[in-house]
Chain A
């Protein structure tokens, strides 16, 4: 029986497939459990975790960074405020320049930049922790941690949000204090696509509204050779920032005016005499970026992800249930039930009417009353016809 065999084979393969899936499942589940345990043990552990964090590598790129002086002085502010580390999370679609931004900020070729992706990012999050090793300065031992992430759109279709990646990012950064989130997009685009909207919404739903407080927009490809007709560089930039801010799903009234920085990661970025990278409007973007990072780093408590923050659709408006149920009960008693009763009465009245007319006719005729069913038989009959 060849067909059966074939099918068996197919089944087998499927099973293997399933098993693979199962294995992964199990892994994830385990992780989840661990996470839960961690949650319960409170914040103490988190701090410990911070202490024994992964070994930082020396920030060698700092020495050759053209904007070294400015960056050092800015970071000193943070150090002065008692911070030992600045954690930056990068989010955005793929190929907008997240990895390049890491490279140009740290001045090292750390993140692999793939301009034309043939395969999806294998790593969802890639943290780079750099320690300043300049014994002569106060900054010695200060760490800067940049977490690069994969593109947030679906790697296969490219037209939907990669929820899986978002979930993974969330679980990776759980408990880590994030000082700044950089949402990276390109400057040289004109519109906000539905996909961008969906991604922003998904970011909000996954990390909670609180994330916007620590988010800055970074618009890459800032070295626009030519702006569209009818707009100069400044107006174009303003417009682009405005529409992106508008796209932030954070409620109509309390929409945060996210700080925005323009960046240009390319080698061909023009520079001033000191080699500091410059934009067409001759502003120094690395300086601005670091200023923004430091400003936000100084602002209040850092963002810490907790699974509680992820929006669960099943929980939204759940508190309404008793009210809705009460409302339904009210409608039932005040609208539906009276209507049903009225219908029943009408029907009975019309039945009764028919019987009285019949009885009257028969009485006139001089014959006995009609064979009206007894009350019990009447409802029994009704029920039998109903069934």
Chain B
């Protein structure tokens, strides 16, 4: 038994004018997206740059780099083969380009033309004249009915003698006559595209859809598509579906011409023509056209011009294959402002034509698009950068689109999202005390803390921002330890320079008044309330220079906020309060005016997730508190002292020597990360008045790992060195990075050069070495096992952020 769907084929009907316009749904479109990274840039108001801060900055930079990568990978969605223009056969010859009408006018009535031929073995060639149509239509009702009889709802139907059982299942898909040329899909890919799939149920509509789809999509290559089905045995409805394609063949092709390609030099034209012209003009393959199109469009694509393409072919009747190239140019540039509004059930967009903060003219001018220019693939990215430079825009989309009415014109739509200048943010958090590197849950950790932040990002019209934030560790009684910060930033104060003013209040646990051996050391907190003004200058890759002037009041206090004037300890049951003084004035309060210079020479780059380069950080703090003696034994001036404090660090990230160097192919194609060796040294010195809150402390996750903060000592001079070898596990198909390190820190016996010698008082070693191994996974989370070489014990630690 045999059932065949006989497709009718119409040609010479519904023919359209040559070079018909593409329909709007499939027009060429480039979408370029930019999403500003909404990373949580945490500005910290500490006067002394602690390593963690540097590290934070670096980590943040890393995040930015990531966002940079996002920027560059904008999405291009041109689909060059879905909207190739249709060209009618024109002369009505069956062998010409009388391809399907594309179905774009909806007049495609294939359903009527299909017939289900049961038992009669009718295997007509599929090409039928229009004249047949009425008779077929007449038969339609009957035929469809008989076809329907073949369908059974399910396999569970009882088996009846002489009747077929089961569903219409396609057990085999046969494709005949498919030309595997040019950009046409391979047989397997073609099978994947179809509605009818091997082993699956199909019905009449699937056959119709497949035929329609194939004809529409490949109408320039395929003259006709025949779909037949036949039963594979006599019992079931299992069927074999046969697709029979009849590709076009043209003959008498003598020349290939490229018309309208103004940008293409003669040489390129010649080479394309030469390489495509068939040897035998009378046996011309269907692929020629495709080859010509592909070559022309590839040439344009290589040059970065996505809006230049072959519009249509003609001239075949004259024996010439003429490719008509369209080189579209920018016509209109418009800006649309979008704002996401949370609707009742879905995010809605509120759009408006004129910006509230950044005017449209400014955006258009900044973008640099000019009427009458070609659109180069780089232009989207460049324009986006230019628009981004206006500031105050969050989401920028550039969508060049072909003009609906004229394919040689490109309209560029710029969609932007202006930031909301005023904003408020609220965080709630719960704190855990760390004990031996692991969080400890206590009653204290259930009390909610958090922060409220108000900010205005556009105070004076050019991104000047003012942020006020309040934080407390206990919202039940926020007055007790209310931290606040107020900062004003002028990001575009001068070329490459920002200007900032900050009023801050911080509280930190002093690492000086701690002891590794004696647990009974009451903690000392350093409260700073200060005003800091600084300029920050960037230039070079990640180079940075900051000049700041700071006036701060430093108060040392205990857990309850009571002022503490000196360190204490409980030793062998005795309470000893003869420890080092906490402040210069011996009253627990100092006022200090200082100048700070911070310079960073940084060319560290992330190569597939691992750093390479060198970073030099240098910081000088100059205390400016001159005291003038007054008669009567009093002195006039701040108590902060006169001092000069220098900290410098050098970090070198290099590929491990004696291993094969990473090549460009490995970096860009295989995406391999380098195996790196990190060499790090940090040192500092201070002369003059040094108070406990300015002492250098040794030990800690950013100093010498394996020790707790300040465990190794407090000092006036120090030197830290570290070596780390990193193995990127992603090269081996695993996540994260494994590393091993060796670190050493020494106070250069400068502990006793400090008033009260806290290193000795709290029985710290003064120097120490550590080694260990670790894994970095989940971004910046480090899991480490480090060996404290002084005590000879190992510890497991979880840290956040980069060490270097």
Q: Which of A314, A316, A344 contacts B641 (CB 8 A)?
A: A314
A21, closest chain B residue (CB): B577
A379 to B497: give the CA distance in the assembly, Å: 9
A366 to B374: give the CA distance in the assembly, Å: 9
A374 to B495: give the CA distance in the assembly, Å: 12
Residues of A within 8 Å of B571, CB to CB, are 156-157
Instruction: Tell me if A314 and B690 are in contact (CB < 8 A).
Output: yes
B642, closest chain A residue (CB): A321
A347 to B601: give the CA distance in the assembly, Å: 13
Q: Which A residues from 336 to 355 make CB contacts under 8 A with B?
A: 336, 339-341, 343-344, 346-347
Q: Given known contacts A318-B688, A336-B599, is B540 in contact with A344 (CB within 8 Å)?
A: yes
Stretch of A72-80, A174-182, A293-301, A324-332 that contacts chain B: A324-332
Instruction: Tell me if B687 and A321 are in contact (CB < 8 A).
Output: yes
Q: Which of A160, A317, A320 contacts B760 (CB 8 A)?
A: A160
Q: Given known contacts A313-B752, A336-B599, is B539 in contact with A366 (CB within 8 Å)?
A: no
Stretch of B152-160, B364-372, B722-730, B784-792 that contacts chain A: B364-372
Instruction: Tell me if A367 and B376 are in contact (CB < 8 A).
Output: yes
Q: Given known contacts A365-B263, A384-B391, is B540 in contact with A370 (CB within 8 Å)?
A: no
Interface check B575, CB cutoff 8 A: yes
Q: Which of A11, A24, A368 contacts B370 (CB 8 A)?
A: A368
Instruction: Tell me if B389 and A362 are in contact (CB < 8 A).
Output: no
Interface check B378, CB cutoff 8 A: yes
A268 to B563: give the CA distance in the assembly, Å: 57
Residues of A within 8 Å of B93, CB to CB, are none
Residues of B within 8 Å of A362, CB to CB, are 376
As a 0/1 sequence over residues 280 to 304 of chain B, the CB contacts with chain A under 8 angstroms (1 = contact) are 0000000000000000000000010
Instruction: Tell me if A340 and B543 are in contact (CB < 8 A).
Output: yes
Instruction: Tell me if A313 and B491 are in contact (CB < 8 A).
Output: no
A375, closest chain B residue (CB): B495
A340 to B536: give the CA distance in the assembly, Å: 13
Interface check B305, CB cutoff 8 A: yes
Instruction: Tell me if A377 and B389 are in contact (CB < 8 A).
Output: yes
Interface check B338, CB cutoff 8 A: no
Interface check B798, CB cutoff 8 A: no
Interface check B544, CB cutoff 8 A: yes
Residues of B within 8 Å of A313, CB to CB, are 690, 716, 752-755
Instruction: Tell me if A371 and B379 are in contact (CB < 8 A).
Output: yes
Residues of B within 8 Å of A3, CB to CB, are 443
A25 to B376: give the CA distance in the assembly, Å: 78
A18 to B443: give the CA distance in the assembly, Å: 25
A250 to B687: give the CA distance in the assembly, Å: 22
Interface check A382, CB cutoff 8 A: yes
Q: Which A residues from 159 to 216 make CB contacts under 8 A with B?
A: 160-161, 163-164, 201
B379, closest chain A residue (CB): A371
Instruction: Tell me if A358 and B378 are in contact (CB < 8 A).
Output: yes
Q: Given known contacts A318-B687, A321-B687, A343-B541, is B644 in contact with A373 (CB within 8 Å)?
A: no
B536, closest chain A residue (CB): A386
Interface check B689, CB cutoff 8 A: yes
B753, closest chain A residue (CB): A313
Interface check A40, CB cutoff 8 A: yes
Instruction: Tell me if B575 and A17 are in contact (CB < 8 A).
Output: yes
- The distance from the CB of A11 to the nearest CB of chain B, in whole angstroms, is 8
Interface check A255, CB cutoff 8 A: no
A11 to B760: give the CA distance in the assembly, Å: 28
- The distance from the CB of A145 to the nearest CB of chain B, in whole angstroms, is 28
Instruction: Tell me if B755 and A40 are in contact (CB < 8 A).
Output: no
Interface check B15, CB cutoff 8 A: no
Stretch of B177-185, B380-388, B656-664 that contacts chain A: B380-388
- The distance from the CB of A316 to the nearest CB of chain B, in whole angstroms, is 7
Q: Which A residues from 235 to 282 make CB contacts under 8 A with B?
A: none
Instruction: Tell me if B574 and A156 are in contact (CB < 8 A).
Output: yes
Residues of A within 8 Å of B492, CB to CB, are 380, 383
Q: Which of A160, A316, A380 contacts B391 (CB 8 A)?
A: A380
Residues of A within 8 Å of B754, CB to CB, are 313
- The distance from the CB of A205 to the nearest CB of chain B, in whole angstroms, is 8
Q: Given known contacts A371-B368, A373-B385, is B543 in contact with A343 (CB within 8 Å)?
A: yes
Interface check B763, CB cutoff 8 A: yes
Residues of B within 8 Å of A373, CB to CB, are 368, 382, 385-386, 389
A24 to B643: give the CA distance in the assembly, Å: 31
Instruction: Tell me if B369 and A371 are in contact (CB < 8 A).
Output: yes
Interface check B605, CB cutoff 8 A: no
Instruction: Tell me if A346 and B618 are in contact (CB < 8 A).
Output: no
B491, closest chain A residue (CB): A383
- The distance from the CB of A168 to the nearest CB of chain B, in whole angstroms, is 10
Q: Given known contacts A321-B687, A370-B379, is B496 in contact with A314 (CB within 8 Å)?
A: no
- The distance from the CB of A115 to the nearest CB of chain B, in whole angstroms, is 22
Q: Which of B373, B620, B753 contacts A368 (CB 8 A)?
A: B373
Q: Given known contacts A318-B687, A321-B644, A366-B263, is B539 in contact with A377 (CB within 8 Å)?
A: no
Interface check B578, CB cutoff 8 A: yes
A343, closest chain B residue (CB): B540
A180 to B367: give the CA distance in the assembly, Å: 88
- The distance from the CB of A59 to the nearest CB of chain B, in whole angstroms, is 37
Q: Given known contacts A313-B753, A367-B263, is B68 in contact with A385 (CB within 8 Å)?
A: yes
Instruction: Tell me if B577 and A24 are in contact (CB < 8 A).
Output: yes
Instruction: Tell me if A367 and B305 are in contact (CB < 8 A).
Output: yes
Instruction: Tell me if A372 and B382 are in contact (CB < 8 A).
Output: yes
Instruction: Tell me if A384 and B565 are in contact (CB < 8 A).
Output: no
Instruction: Tell me if A385 and B64 are in contact (CB < 8 A).
Output: yes
A341 to B539: give the CA distance in the assembly, Å: 8
Residues of B within 8 Å of A347, CB to CB, are 539-541
Residues of B within 8 Å of A365, CB to CB, are 263, 303, 305
Q: Which of B369, B389, B689 contacts A380 (CB 8 A)?
A: B389
B562, closest chain A residue (CB): A18
A36 to B634: give the CA distance in the assembly, Å: 12
A285 to B138: give the CA distance in the assembly, Å: 146
Residues of B within 8 Å of A157, CB to CB, are 571, 763
Instruction: Tell me if A386 and B544 are in contact (CB < 8 A).
Output: yes
Instruction: Tell me if B388 and A384 are in contact (CB < 8 A).
Output: yes
A25 to B690: give the CA distance in the assembly, Å: 22
Interface check A232, CB cutoff 8 A: no
B687, closest chain A residue (CB): A317
Interface check A312, CB cutoff 8 A: yes
- The distance from the CB of B389 to the nearest CB of chain A, in whole angstroms, is 4
A17, closest chain B residue (CB): B575
Residues of B within 8 Å of A11, CB to CB, are 560
A372 to B752: give the CA distance in the assembly, Å: 59
Q: Which of B386, B544, B757 contacts A377 (CB 8 A)?
A: B386
Q: Report, nearest first, the 9 A-B pairs whose CB atoms are least far apart.
A: A343-B540, A371-B368, A344-B539, A377-B389, A368-B373, A371-B382, A386-B538, A367-B374, A21-B577
Complex A-B: 25 CB contacts under 8 Å: A20-B575, A21-B577, A24-B577, A157-B763, A313-B753, A317-B687, A318-B688, A321-B643, A321-B688, A324-B687, A325-B622, A328-B644, A332-B597, A340-B540, A340-B545, A343-B541, A367-B376, A368-B374, A371-B367, A371-B378, A374-B386, A377-B386, A383-B492, A384-B389, A385-B68
Q: List 5 other contacts, CB 8 Å, given A164-B578, A367-B305.
A: A40-B633, A313-B755, A328-B644, A347-B539, A381-B386
